[in-house]
Each structure stands twice: as structure tokens, then as C-alpha cells.
Amino acid sequence: MKLSFPSFRRRRRGYTLVELTLAMMTGMMIAAMLMSLFHQQLAFLRIFHAQTFLTTEAPIINNYLVRVIGSADGYRLYGSVADLQGGGAQNLADAQVLMLRFKEPDGTFRAAVLSFEDAGNGVGEALYYRRVTDGAIGNPEWALSTEPSDVRFSVEQGILRVRLTGPNGEQITYSGVQQL
């Protein structure tokens, strides 16, 4: 006589509730990790964007200021372009205009102006370069930078200081030459 055993090899169709729960939890954990990485990347990009003024624009402005101010024979500070044009008194602190005087090889002098202002040309507030020709201050020839939200010139203990305020409130101060 032959014994017969019931067949345990039934074909299953579908998944159990435990298997589905484990698969869903694994998927949710992976999604949570991806969202965390995404938010971390966004935070990094925000910080990077906030630092771009200090890492890209400020060094360019510094290079220009070092060249121009370093080659000047003298300078004067004024509160505004209107003060300079109207013959106003020189300012030693919190000035938005820096007038530079250069001695030419033939012994004559020329002048230029760096001013932080809204020149009314659609650019908005910017650090502008102007030439002074025959005693008259010209229109802004070009904007050195449109990124700063404020630029202030001052003389502290005889040393010229330029304080740049970036678009996100960051500040950097350059110290230059002694007043001549």
C-alpha cells in the first residue's frame, strides 16, 4: 500500500499583508531620505547664492579700487554728487562720492569721481565712474557694480575706508591709502 501525502505545493497568487507593508515602508524610507537630500541641496544653494557677492563681485570691486585709488595723488569725499557739483563742503564720514585727483606726466592734473547713486538711467543704484573735464563732472560713463545695496566712503584715522554692503546685508570694508 502506498501512502499519499497532501500536496503542499499550491501556487500562491499575490502578496501577503506583511509583505506589502514591508515594501511600502521601504519605499517611504527611501522617499524620506531623498526628500532630506533635496532639502539639504536647496539649503546649500541658498547659502551659495547669498555668498556670491562676497566671492565674485567684491574681489572685482577690490581690484578696481586698489588700482584707481592707489594711483591717485589725492582724494576728497562728498555726501552726494549734488554736493560736489554745488561746491559743498568736504565730508570725512559716511560719504557716497569719492573724487580722485591724478597727476599727469606733464605736471597737469585730471580728476575722476566714484559715486554710489541712482543715476536715473534705468540701472538703479550702482557704483558709477565719472570723468571730470574742465571742472565739470560728466555723466556716469559706466557702472563698476550694480550688486551692492550701499557703498560708503569714509576717512578714519587718516585712512580711506570703503564699506560695501551686499544685496543680502553682508558687509565688507576695504582700507586704503592715507589722505593726502
**In the predicted model, is pLDDT for residue 164 greater than 80?**
yes
Cα–Cα dist 129/112, whole Å: 7
Amino acid, res. 110:
R
Express each pLDDT in 41-77 by its tens digit.
Answer: 999 998 888 788 888 888 888 888 888 888 888 888 9
Cα–Cα dist 100/112, whole Å: 5
Grid coordinates of 84: 560736489
Residue given cell 585730471 in the structure block: 110
Express each pLDDT in 108-145 by its tens digit.
Answer: 889 999 999 988 777 788 999 988 888 788 888 888 88
Where along the chain do its domains lie? 48-178
